[in-house]
């Protein structure tokens, strides 16, 4: 059997019998329900570098493994939202940057599609949070700075200020204590 390397440049009409194709060099365009894929394949499935354009105009450019986004890639939704970073089996997983269409932006760790680990979130109103996340919520140690200049440094549980923390107000006043359900307990 003869090994033949093919590239997009020489993918005209070819008739082949008993030919083994090198898996990394085949880049083909295919219309799939839900969009169009152009890129590398292995055993008939998306594997390697490729681009998928969805019927709504959303577009993924990056690495694939077993027909799933896996590795580093960029998904840009038709609505304007964008994720640039690591993927695992079609989910945001690892380090990445997500930008929402309203200007909100998160830079940090992801696990199974959720903000989990350490990260920074900037909201359109000017608020900023730097710290721990779990399942998409502020969790653990973190610093939240409001656009007004007020700041909370302390513990978070499920997106609520919970536990020991310190409030530093824009006017310079400082309060320390325990928080429960986002309220300072004196």
pLDDT score of 34: 78
Q: Cα dihedral angle (22, 55, 68, 44), rounded to 10 degrees?
A: -30
CA atoms of 114 and 172, how far apart (whole Å): 35
Rounded mean pLDDT of 53-71? Answer: 97
Domains in the chain (CATH in brackets) are: 20-101 (no CATH), 104-186 (2.20.110.10)
pLDDT per residue as tens digits for the range 73-130: 999 999 999 999 999 999 999 999 999 999 999 999 999 999 999 999 999 999 999 9
Which candidate, 64, 27, 65, places its Cα nearest to that of 74? 64
Question: What SS3 class is residue 134?
Answer: strand
Global pTM reads 0.82
CB 51 within 8 A of CB 37: yes
pLDDT above 80: residue 186: no
CA atoms of 174 and 37, how far apart (whole Å): 56
Q: How confident is the model at residue 3 (pLDDT cuts 50, 70, 90)?
A: very low
CB 126 within 8 A of CB 120: no
pLDDT per residue as tens digits for the range 13-34: 333 333 344 544 455 566 666 7
Which candidate, 146, 172, 171, 173, places its Cα nearest to that of 161? 146
**Which whole-number Å values give the CA distances from 45 to 3, 21, 27, 70, 119, in the listed order?**
21, 14, 12, 13, 34
CB 110 within 8 A of CB 101: no
Q: How many residues does the chain have?
A: 186
């Amino acid at each position: 059997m003869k090994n033949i390397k093919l590239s997009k440049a020489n993918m005209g009409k070819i008739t082949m019998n008993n030919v083994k194709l090198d898996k990394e060099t085949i880049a083909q365009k295919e219309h799939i329900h839900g969009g169009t894929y152009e890129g590398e394949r292995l055993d008939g499935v998306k594997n390697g570098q490729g681009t998928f354009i969805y019927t709504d105009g959303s577009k993924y450019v990056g690495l694939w493994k077993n027909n799933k986004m896996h590795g580093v890639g960029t998904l840009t939704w038709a609505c304007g939202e964008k994720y640039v970073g690591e993927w695992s089996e079609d989910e945001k997983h690892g380090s990445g940057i997500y930008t929402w269409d309203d200007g909100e932006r998160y830079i940090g760790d992801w696990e199974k599609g959720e903000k989990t680990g350490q990260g920074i979130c900037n909201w359109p109103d000017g608020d900023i949070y730097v710290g721990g996340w779990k399942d998409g919520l502020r969790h653990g140690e973190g610093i939240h700075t409001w656009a007004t200049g007020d700041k909370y440094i302390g513990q978070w549980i499920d997106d609520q200020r919970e536990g020991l923390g310190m409030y530093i107000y824009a006017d310079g006043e400082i309060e320390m204590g325990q928080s429960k359900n986002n309220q300072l307990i004196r």
